Amino acid sequence: METIHEKIAALDWALLTHEMNEKGYAIIPNLITDEQCNEFIKNYDNPNGYRKTVVMERYRFGLGEYKYFDYPLPDLIQNLRESLYPKLAPIANLWMKVLNSTIRFPSTFKELQTLCHANNQLKPAVLILKYGKGGYNTLHQDLYGDIFFPMQTVLFLNDPDEDYTGGEFVLTQQTPRAQSKAIVLKPKKGDVLLFTTNFRPVKGTKGYYRVNMKHGVSELHSGKRHTLGIIFHDALS
């Protein structure tokens, strides 16, 4: 059986890079097995392995619940962080360059984590989310501190239209001096979505400019929906 490192290395990164540059998101189909998805769902109610539970309506984040994992992370999550980050860092650095930013991201995940820890961002920003009928997530950005990587991933753990209806993943793009654009996605079980954390560059007539982006989840009409969010930078709390 291929390891997750081998699966990620074998992906068409030229195509994925093009999609990230052109749209700010890309979908990797069938990266995670059904068994791996089911294991995360089964362990949701296990009190071990999590550092914090958030009931979303208490903070007006939406309707649902999520839990932050604690270190040490499950092997699959740790391997995904370590394998995906070096593929995304060159894209992020190109974005910084065309936007005339002096920020540059290190080439390895370990170096990024060292940078986070030097800035007192010590907590893993990896979470599993659970929604039931009527659940949703308001539009937001996952920053967690001064050090943040501008891309993140979501693993989809249920089958849309089978396990739940509604609950689409929503991205909004706010172009300066224009109306916002909504992007609605419905990845399948085992798919991984790569997307921008808070902005992306867009080429205009006078060079590149920055457009802000947010993400959220539309209301579920029925069933249950679980996803696993992997943010590469660590959090303050």
Residue pLDDT, tens place only, 120-164: 999 999 999 999 999 999 999 999 999 999 999 999 999 999 999
Q: Tell me what pLDDT residue 27 has.
A: 98
Position 107 pLDDT exceeds 80: yes
Give the CA angle between residues 26, 27, 30 to the nearest 5°. 160
Q: Which of 129, 125, 153, 124 is nearest to 41 (CA)?
A: 129
Q: Tell me what pLDDT residue 47 has.
A: 87
Each residue's pLDDT tens digit, 171-180:
999 987 788 9
Question: What percentage of the chain reaches a pLDDT higher than 90?
Answer: 95
Maximum distance among all Cα pairs of the chain, rounded to whole angstroms: 54
Q: Tell me what pLDDT residue 178 has.
A: 81
Each residue's pLDDT tens digit, 155-164:
999 999 999 9
Each residue's pLDDT tens digit, 23-52:
999 999 999 999 999 999 999 999 899 999
- Please, what are the domains in the chain? 4-231 (2.60.120.620)
Q: Measured between alpha carbons, how far is 9 from 231 in angstroms, rounded to an integer? A: 20
Q: Confirm if 231 and 142 have CB atoms less than 8 A apart.
A: yes
Average confidence score pLDDT of the chain: 96
Asked whether the CA dihedral 51, 57, 59, 60 is positive or negative, the reply is positive
Q: Tell me what pLDDT residue 170 has.
A: 98
Model confidence, pTM: 0.96
Residue with tokens 């907590």: 123
- Coil vs helix vs strand at 113: helix
Q: Tell me what pLDDT residue 175 has.
A: 82
Paired with 120 in beta bridges are: none
Q: Measured between alpha carbons, how far is 168 from 143 in angstroms, rounded to an integer? A: 22
